[in-house]
A and B are shown apart, each in its own frame.
Chain A
Amino acid sequence: MFIDTLDQAFDIEVKGFKQRSIDTPNNEVVIKGPNEAFVENIRTNTSILRRIVNNENLIIENIEVGKITKTKCAVCYIQDFTNQDLINEVKYRLNNLDIDSLFSAGELEQFICDSNIFGIPQTMATERPDKAAKYLLKGRVIVIVNGTPYGIIMPSILIDFLSSSEDTNLKPNFSNFLRILRVISSFLTLLLPGLYIAVTSFHQEILPTSLMFSILGSRENVPFPIIVEILLMEFSFELIREAGLRVPSPIGPTIGIVGALVLGQAAVSAGIVSPILIIIVAITGIASFAIPDFTFGFHLRYFRFAFILLGFMAGFLGISIGLFIYISALCSIHSFGVPFTTPFAPVTDSKGNGYLLSPIWKREYRPPYMSTEKPKEQDSISMKWKFFKPFGK
């Protein structure tokens, strides 16, 4: 190190450290988009973000959280238009955490969320920098925690948890189809086993007669009542899922598939469960994988047990009451001041930022519920090449 006006230099030994290089994202795979993911080092992450956003108004402020570990958290926002109250609130919450240590983004999410009702997440974690950049440009704030390859997006509302970063890369017809599919899959994850047990216990008249006789035929040799069967199979499915995370990699996927298939088939042949139930559990499991956000999917998986219990207890009455409480809980949550069920309740004009996407040239406005300072992000005629011909041609 040379210092101006001093005639001495310093030879300082500085330690460097190895870190993981930028890799493809593991959990948020996209077909048409970039394949970079965040890494553990905060400097690398912020540099990726800067590279993508490429604008001098992207402000990245460092805040240290944790008295002992002094974990660096980078609060990123675009100062041109992000709502100043939102930025201040995020910084206020981060600065007023009286804890010893902070190790991961997951812990930080739990510390700064508004309410913990039913475990519904109010912030979204993403490992894709392009997704983080897209949300930055819509007026949100990203917090990157050193040591975790995840950026936390706040605020996050219900429709964010059911959107994936692939949606803006495709034409709106296809992405709307996928979005509708995701809504159906979230209903299936939450309600399908509960509905099955409610229908077979109290409301068999809804089933078409031939289907009912198939169910009866398949249940002929089964010794357990339906509730025990369902709980057994759901529990085994969760077990396989959890075990699949820890099986050594060469045989990992095989064990998952073989375990599920063999277990299911063997259980049916032994007459422990009925084949129709295996189908129900399999569809529920597959539907839960279709939900883009891991935390939200977990929340739905967790609550399907509550609906199974309610369906068993009181049939459709139990399920409706469960739905009533669930909807009330969803509606009572605010994520950093934004109601969770915007733009459906309260009814606001989302100006093209609702759940279903409009064509890209119509997405002129930033989401009004973010109260950004620059509401318009596109001109009303954005494709000037198409509609304005130069003179003389």
Chain B
Amino acid sequence: MKKYIKNIFIFIVILVFILAFSHSYSSLNIDNLAYVVALGIDSTDDNNLQVTFQFSTPVSIESGEKPNPINNTVISPSISNAINIMNSYLGNPISFSHCKVIVFSEQLAKQGISDEVYTLINDTQITPSSNIVISKCDAKNYLEQTSPELKNLISKYYETFASSSRNTGYIPDATIGDFFNDLTSRTREPYAILGGLNAESRNEENSTTTNQDSLKANTTSISGKNGSENFGVAVFREDTLVGELDAFESVALQNIRNNIDRFLISVQDPEIENNVLDIYMTPSNNTRIKVDTSTKSPYVEINYNFTGRIYSMTQNSKYLSPEVLDSISKTCNSYLETQFSNYLYRTSRELNSDINSIGNYALKNFFTTKEFENYSWLENYKNAFFKVKVNSSIKSGMLITET
């Protein structure tokens, strides 16, 4: 008898626990949730937010056709309100656990996005490694025009599109976690990927620029089925957008932050007239940065080390001899020093935003955090002087060394 009572008691306890946890189960179950893959936030004229949710339908096993993403938009005073309204509209609660990209429009970014970033980081489901993009067009347009050509699922495209940051350096791999850390830090400023629409989606017949060096999103000559493109960096001071960098300046940023594997430069051939050499440069070790904070104008010394391999070939190239390689190296050095120096002065004087996180290297010069805060690095960054030294050694061509 006692054993029966004990068993019944255990059964009742299990039942009670199942009921207690079942509310959380029904709110988090895989069947009941709508998975957002991308989020777009615009600002409207009357100080409201226009929030776009992009969903991806699952691949059906029988039909096997490519699923089209679904975009739903709502206007509301804040993100949490928008999520609430969308929960009610869809019937299923929204889950951000697979949200890969968060897009802010340029207009909203200029007004300041700290509220939205803090709210999103506070959410338990947002992945800190979701990319953050500032789009020059409306975020809604950007999301609607994104249509990956080489991948079936749009979420797969979003997972990998920022990987070009390591191969070309034309965009940074900016994530919302890093954005938040930089926002709350006193040694550096946040940045985001710059996105926009390609030429076809912009309905332009003539491209505005073909110069590779000032490649920026929303201004390129690319046409393709995927309507959105990403080139360049959106620079922030605190939470407000203060400027943009083009593709090559983004390369400079990636180099200083040691986030790049290789990049392409084009220099004048010192041997042959009117010939441009395309060289793949690879950093051979981390950038060495030294900061002198004895005055209110910090003096920054930066040393880069690269190795390079020549990619473009003509009929009359002779690259095996050390003298030729030496002179090419010297050309590359001076080219890169100019470019990087221009970039650094631009971030300092024009944009006054230390997205290069040079402030981290300045920490060594202080003994206590109070001294550092008294120095106010971020305000003094605009007075900084830079000395850039590049040391590159060009090895040879890739498969061909001499023609």
Which residues in A have some Cβ–Cβ distance to B below 8 Å?
Answer: 200-202, 204-205, 209-210, 212-220, 225-226, 275, 309, 312-314
Which chain A residues border B18 with CB–CB below 8 Å? 312-313
Query: Given A209-B100, A314-B21, is A309 in contact with B61 using a C-beta cutoff of 8 Å?
Result: no
**Contact of A205 with B60 in the complex, beta carbons under 8 Å:** no
When chains A and B are docked, how far (Å) is the Cα of A193 from the Cα of B125?
24
What 0/1 pattern do residues 18 to 43 of B give for CB contact below 8 A with A?
10010011001111010101000000
Grouping DSSP codes into helix (H, G, I), strand (E, B) and loop, the A interface class, with mixed when no group exceeds half, is helix
Shortest CB–CB separation between residue A278 and chain B, in angstroms? 12
When chains A and B are docked, how far (Å) is the Cα of A214 from the Cα of B28?
18
Closest 10 CB pairs of A and B: A217-B58, A205-B97, A216-B58, A200-B30, A209-B155, A213-B58, A217-B59, A209-B98, A314-B21, A202-B28
Q: A218-B61, A313-B17 are in contact. List 6 more A-B contacts (CB 8 A).
A: A205-B125, A209-B100, A213-B35, A226-B31, A275-B61, A313-B21
Interface centre among A202, A213, A217 (most CB of B within 10 A): A213
- Contacts A/B (CB < 8 Å), 23 sampled: A201-B25, A201-B28, A201-B29, A202-B28, A204-B97, A205-B125, A209-B37, A209-B155, A209-B159, A210-B155, A212-B30, A213-B59, A213-B153, A214-B58, A216-B30, A218-B61, A226-B30, A226-B31, A309-B14, A312-B18, A312-B25, A313-B17, A313-B21
Which chain B residues border A200 with CB–CB below 8 Å? 29-30
Interface centre among B35, B61, B125, B156 (most CB of A within 10 A): B61
When chains A and B are docked, how far (Å) is the Cα of A275 from the Cα of B60?
12
Shortest CB–CB separation between residue B130 and chain A, in angstroms? 11
Which chain B residues border A309 with CB–CB below 8 Å? 14
Asked whether B127 is an interface residue with its Cβ less than 8 Å from the other chain, the reply is: yes
Asked whether B334 is an interface residue with its Cβ less than 8 Å from the other chain, the reply is: no
**Contact of B98 with A202 in the complex, beta carbons under 8 Å:** no
**Contact of A205 with B29 in the complex, beta carbons under 8 Å:** no
Which chain A residues border B37 with CB–CB below 8 Å? 209
Considering the complex, give the chain A residue whose CB is closest to the CB of B98.
A209
**Contact of B98 with A205 in the complex, beta carbons under 8 Å:** yes
Asked whether B95 is an interface residue with its Cβ less than 8 Å from the other chain, the reply is: yes
Asked whether B214 is an interface residue with its Cβ less than 8 Å from the other chain, the reply is: no
When chains A and B are docked, how far (Å) is the Cα of A210 from the Cα of B35?
12
Which residues in B have some Cβ–Cβ distance to A below 8 Å?
Answer: 14, 17-18, 21, 24-25, 28-31, 33, 35, 37, 56, 58-61, 95, 97-98, 100, 125, 127, 153, 155-156, 159
Instruction: Choose one: A204, A212, A217, A313; the contact of B60 (CB below 8 Å).
Output: A217
**Contact of A210 with B21 in the complex, beta carbons under 8 Å:** no
Shortest CB–CB separation between residue A317 and chain B, in angstroms? 9
Shortest CB–CB separation between residue A4 and chain B, in angstroms? 63
Which chain B residues border A275 with CB–CB below 8 Å? 61
Query: Given A213-B56, A275-B61, A312-B25, is A201 in contact with B98 using a C-beta cutoff of 8 Å?
Result: no
**Contact of A213 with B30 in the complex, beta carbons under 8 Å:** no
Query: Given A213-B58, A213-B59, A314-B17, is A201 in contact with B156 using a C-beta cutoff of 8 Å?
Result: no
Which chain B residues border A218 with CB–CB below 8 Å? 61
**Contact of A209 with B21 in the complex, beta carbons under 8 Å:** no
Shortest CB–CB separation between residue B394 and chain A, in angstroms? 41
When chains A and B are docked, how far (Å) is the Cα of A217 from the Cα of B60?
5
**Contact of A202 with B24 in the complex, beta carbons under 8 Å:** yes
Which chain B residues border A314 with CB–CB below 8 Å? 17, 21
When chains A and B are docked, how far (Å) is the Cα of A94 from the Cα of B62?
63
**Contact of A212 with B21 in the complex, beta carbons under 8 Å:** no
Query: Given A210-B156, A212-B98, is A204 in contact with B17 using a C-beta cutoff of 8 Å?
Result: no
Which chain B residues border A202 with CB–CB below 8 Å? 24-25, 28
**Contact of B31 with A217 in the complex, beta carbons under 8 Å:** no
Instruction: Choose one: B14, B17, B58, B153; the contact of A220 (CB below 8 Å).
Output: B58
When chains A and B are docked, how far (Å) is the Cα of A226 from the Cα of B25?
11
Instruction: Choose one: A209, A219, A313; the contact of B156 (CB below 8 Å).
Output: A209
When chains A and B are docked, how far (Å) is the Cα of A313 from the Cα of B18?
5
Instruction: Choose one: A209, A210, A215, A312; the contact of B30 (CB below 8 Å).
Output: A215
Considering the complex, give the chain B residue whose CB is closest to the CB of A268.
B61
**Contact of B30 with A201 in the complex, beta carbons under 8 Å:** yes
Which chain A residues border B29 with CB–CB below 8 Å? 200-201, 225-226
Query: Given A212-B35, A314-B17, A314-B21, is A204 in contact with B30 using a C-beta cutoff of 8 Å?
Result: yes
When chains A and B are docked, how far (Å) is the Cα of A217 from the Cα of B127?
23
Instruction: Choose one: A204, A215, A217, A225; the contact of B33 (CB below 8 Å).
Output: A204
Shortest CB–CB separation between residue A268 and chain B, in angstroms? 9
Considering the complex, give the chain B residue whose CB is closest to the CB of A206.
B97
Which chain A residues border B153 with CB–CB below 8 Å? 209-210, 213
When chains A and B are docked, how far (Å) is the Cα of A201 from the Cα of B60?
21
Shortest CB–CB separation between residue B97 and chain A, in angstroms? 4
When chains A and B are docked, how far (Å) is the Cα of A205 from the Cα of B128?
12
Which chain A residues border B14 with CB–CB below 8 Å? 309, 313
When chains A and B are docked, how far (Å) is the Cα of A202 from the Cα of B322?
63
Which chain B residues border A210 with CB–CB below 8 Å? 153, 155-156
When chains A and B are docked, how far (Å) is the Cα of A150 from the Cα of B31?
49
Considering the complex, give the chain B residue whose CB is closest to the CB of A216.
B58
Shortest CB–CB separation between residue A214 and chain B, in angstroms? 7
Shortest CB–CB separation between residue B58 and chain A, in angstroms? 4
**Contact of A219 with B21 in the complex, beta carbons under 8 Å:** no
Which chain B residues border A214 with CB–CB below 8 Å? 58-59
Considering the complex, give the chain A residue whose CB is closest to the CB of B124.
A205
Which chain A residues border B97 with CB–CB below 8 Å? 204-205
When chains A and B are docked, how far (Å) is the Cα of A313 from the Cα of B25?
8
Shortest CB–CB separation between residue A325 and chain B, in angstroms? 13
When chains A and B are docked, how far (Å) is the Cα of A225 from the Cα of B100?
28
Instruction: Choose one: B24, B28, B31, B155; the contact of A225 (CB below 8 Å).
Output: B31
Which chain B residues border A213 with CB–CB below 8 Å? 35, 56, 58-59, 153, 155
Which chain A residues border B155 with CB–CB below 8 Å? 209-210, 213
Which chain B residues border A216 with CB–CB below 8 Å? 30, 35, 58
